[in-house]
Structure 1
Amino acid sequence: MATLRPGKIDRRTNNPSYTRREYIRVLPHIKISHFDTGPNDKFPYEVSLIVKNDVQIRHNSLEAARIAANRYMEKKSGEDYHLKIRVYPFQVLRENPVATGHHADRYGNGMRLSFGKPISRAARVKKGQKVMTLYVHEKGVLRAREAIRRAAMKIPMGTLTEVRKV
């Protein structure tokens, strides 16, 4: 059974972007279930999660961050917030599986036909870009900062929190 590779393998953006779907037979599905959560009212404050460096964030990491922030805000604020994921995982991540184990040399290809199979998707995020935003009223700003802090633990690179009056 295949296991999930560590996120530090895919977080660098030094490789060229790969989004050409016409060359891929089967695209991996995106795990992010909702990009917008909560009522779409006019909230006076915006608390955002911003990345410090260029990074690729896998879709399961974005979903984990969304769940962490949403769960905390649901417990503390009820329905008095709006959560928005601001990036979309277009980047297709590939892996060339290497055969290991007993008699691997008989059925392994090594670097022959090493293009790789699509295994996951990621969002390419530039330095200073907002990944997720919570819109709240003035009384919920401290709770929103804590929710964003919890979401930042799921992101594979250093982050900043920005509080802004809209």
Structure 2
Amino acid sequence: MSIDEMFAEAANHWDLERLYRDLAEAKQKYAPRARKGLTEREKLYLRGLLCGCSPAEMARQLLQSPKGVEVYVCKTLYQYFKRMGDAPNEKVGNWRNINNLLEDAGYKSKTKSSVKSKFSSSFTTDPSVKIVNINFDQNTGTFDINIRVSLPSDSESQRREDMADGDRTIN
């Protein structure tokens, strides 16, 4: 998965382009000599925050140091948030407050809906996923996983598809 795809679900609920633009302006106020616009890392961490992830959760997903992500977010995004509009400094200092502040400022998108809700609403019952068989070969370090997905249909009979996830080698 590419960096641009990480925390991409934030685009379903937030006006990212406007937020990127406004945060870039705030960044220029905070650090006039800094590179113009948000870096890819700043955008990535912002999307993570908008998805409700703590810096520690983002670090886990990105395989990075939790303390490193926390320090980076504190020294960059939190400082930019403080220079956006009338955000009181004491409210910005915690990742849990960011979504509420940005929603109150009108950055939450009202027109976009998540892919998950569109997918779920097309079924009258939830699809089911069942692990049918798991094999592990110690000599080669491979897992064979067979999964059965049951998709509900309009008729009374259910359509079943077997999917084999193939061999995964553990290094």
When normalised by structure 1's length, the TM-score is 0.25
Q: Which has the larger radius of gyration?
A: 2
User: Counting helix residues as a fraction of each chain, which structure ranks higher?
Assistant: 2
When normalised by structure 2's length, the TM-score is 0.24
User: Counting strand residues as a fraction of each chain, which structure ranks higher?
Assistant: 1
